[in-house]
Copies of this chain bind each other. A is one copy, B any other.
Amino acid sequence: MSITIRNNTPLRGIVPPMVTPLNSDGSLDVNSTKKLIEHLISGGVHGIFILGTTGEFSGLSYRTRKEMIINTCDIVAGRIPVLVGITDVSLEESVELADYSYKAGAYAVVVAPPFYMNIDQQEMYSYFNQLADSISLPMFLYNMPSHTKLTIELDTVVRLSSHQRIIGLKDSSAHAVYFQSLCHAFNDQEEFALMVGPEEMMAETVLMRGYGGVCGGANLFPQLYVALYEAAVNRDFDTIKELQAIVMEISKGIYQLGGYKSSYMKGLKTALSFMGLAQAQFAPPLYPFSALEVEELKKIYNQITAKLTILEVQQ
């Protein structure tokens, strides 16, 4: 079932960080998982990234993580690449998840730095290197300072890129200078994929040199983000302007409701529940919106879908 992907054909496009549909008892909602995956594939996404921050990996048990891996790989069945987040604080557990992903037929793993111990860049380098040596799948680095409180500094990325199994980086820092520095450093190494996390900056990075985005909103509206990506690739500025405006409305309306630190996750998953693609069930420490907040979100969601209809973006 494993997909053979040449290193010299780096990943490009929209790779949604898929949410993990859950039942009220915390177990995987397999039915929604199927529906959501079909929604994403029919929306034209270029890959799926499971068990990232948006996938609430940290709140899930290992059992549930494995169920998510095997179910996703089975449902996708090789149609698009599946990337699996194996970020952990224990290298041993990350390796175990990587092995499991390999056997399940995943395309690559994605790893942020171990996020409990305070470490320096040399320790981070050694860690990633040792991990890459211990697994069979290609590996993406995952820069996520807002959650790990650690930055994979440019020099460390460059050093790690010489490891044949490390094939790219997903940057969720939102730091435009950092991303431009990456683009400059890898100017002559097109095979090293540089994906960006925050969907609000996806278009501009693709215009400059980026490979695409790991856009949370693509769970909801995959075609919107795919169309924006293509507009950026084609330098179609009228379309960029039109679609970027909707992306920013999603960012403002759906990801910030209530002003919680967890508003992004709450807004995204609750909006998915409106589409019947997930229940509004979260892994602790996250909890659902109040009924009032759900109602408010519904209004915003309706306004956005109305605009998408006018733009003839399939939802």
Query: Can you list 22 contacts pairing A with B, beta carbon distance less than 8 Å?
Result: A58-B114, A58-B116, A59-B114, A61-B90, A61-B93, A114-B285, A117-B262, A117-B265, A119-B286, A123-B262, A126-B284, A176-B179, A176-B200, A180-B201, A181-B252, A183-B248, A184-B244, A184-B251, A187-B245, A203-B208, A204-B204, A208-B240
Interface size class of A (residues with CB under 8 A): 35 or more
**Contacts of A261 on B, CB cut-off 8 Å?**
117-120, 123
**Contacts of A252 on B, CB cut-off 8 Å?**
181, 184
In addition to A115-B115, A176-B204, 19 A-B residue pairs with Cβ atoms within 8 Å of each other are A53-B117, A60-B92, A115-B116, A117-B265, A117-B285, A118-B262, A119-B261, A119-B262, A119-B285, A120-B260, A120-B261, A123-B261, A127-B285, A174-B175, A176-B198, A177-B200, A180-B248, A181-B251, A203-B208
How many of these chains are in the complex? 4
User: Which B residue's beta carbon lies closest to that of A112?
Assistant: B116
* A279 close to B (CB within 8 Å): no
Cβ-defined partner of A116 (8 Å) among B91, B120, B147, B184: B147
**Contacts of A146 on B, CB cut-off 8 Å?**
118
- Digitize A177-210: 1 where CB-to-B-CB distance is under 8 Å, 0 elsewhere: 1111101100100000000001011011101100
C-alpha gap A181/B113 in the complex (Å):
29
C-alpha gap A187/B180 in the complex (Å):
25
C-alpha gap A208/B177 in the complex (Å):
16
* Least distance between A206 CB and chain B CB atoms (Å): 10
C-alpha gap A292/B207 in the complex (Å):
39
* A307 close to B (CB within 8 Å): no
* A287 close to B (CB within 8 Å): yes
* A130 close to B (CB within 8 Å): yes
* A35 close to B (CB within 8 Å): no
C-alpha gap A147/B114 in the complex (Å):
11
C-alpha gap A126/B10 in the complex (Å):
43
* A124 close to B (CB within 8 Å): yes
* A149 close to B (CB within 8 Å): yes
* Least distance between A261 CB and chain B CB atoms (Å): 4
**A93 engages B204 (CB within 8 Å):** no
- Digitize A247-261: 1 where CB-to-B-CB distance is under 8 Å, 0 elsewhere: 011011000000011
